């Protein structure tokens, strides 16, 4: 049986999920993900095109409350948890490269 997922696909997925993998990890995860996808072959093979999908167990949607002012979290308490803060804002590294 052909491998269900290739190392290139795993590398692509890792990149999408912002995970850096070593060569050993890439090989290991490819084997392990293939084994889980192999198990999922049982549902892939089901002929259930006419069945409606279920995203959520109960039909609850658009739960609203009155639009009124309420106390919110304390700014200093929240900012105190951030790795890097400057002038009451979250400080992050450069977003755009020089070329952009």
Partner 1 sequence: MSSPAGASPTGQGPVPAASLSGSCAMSASDIAAGVRSGELSALGVLEEHLSQVERWEPEVHAFNLVTADAARARAREVDAMVAKGKDPGPLAGVPVALKDLLCTRGVPTTCSSRILAGWRPPYDATVVKKVAEAGAVAVGKANMDEFAMGSSTEHSATGPTRNPHDLKRVPGGSSGGSAAAVAAGFSALALGSDTGGSIRQPAALCGVVGVKPTYGLVSRYGLVAFASSLDQIGPFGRSVADAALALDVISGHDELDSTSLPGDPPRAASRLGRGVEGLRVGVIAELAGAEGISPDVAAALDGAAQSLAASGAKVEEISVPSVRFGLSAYYMIAPAEASSNLARYDGVRYGFRSPGQDITEMYMATRSVGFGAEVKRRIMLGTYALSAGYYDAYYGKAQKVRTLIIRDFDSAYSSFDVLLAPTSPTVAFELGAKTADPLAMYLSDVCTIPSNLAGHPAMSVPFGKGECGLPIGVQVLAPALGEPVMFQVAEALEAAAPLGTGDPHGEEAK
Q: Give the three-class secondary structure for 86.
A: strand
CA distances 74 to 79, 82, 85, 89, Å, are 9, 13, 15, 14
- CA angle 71/75/77 to nearest 5° reads 105
CB of 29 to partner 1, least distance (A): 6
Q: Hey, what are 29's tokens? A: 């995860």
CB of 16 to partner 1, least distance (A): 5
CB of 76 to partner 1, least distance (A): 10
CB 44 within 8 A of CB 11: no
* 54/87 with CB nearer partner 1: 54
| Interface residues toward partner 1, by CB under 8 A | 5, 9-10, 13-14, 16-21, 25, 29, 32-33, 35-37, 39-44, 46, 48, 51-58, 60, 63, 65, 73-74, 77-78, 80-84, 90, 92-95, 97
């Amino acid at each position: 049986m052909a491998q269900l997922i290739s190392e290139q696909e795993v590398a692509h997925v890792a990149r999408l999920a912002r995970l850096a993998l070593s060569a050993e990890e890439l090989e290991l995860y490819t084997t392990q993900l293939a084994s889980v996808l192999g198990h999922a072959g049982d549902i892939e093979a089901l002929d259930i095109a006419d069945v409606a999908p279920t995203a959520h167990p109960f039909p609850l949607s658009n739960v609203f409350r009155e639009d009124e002012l309420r106390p919110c979290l304390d700014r200093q308490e929240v900012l105190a948890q951030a790795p890097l803060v400057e002038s009451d804002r979250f400080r992050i590294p450069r977003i755009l490269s020089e070329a952009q």
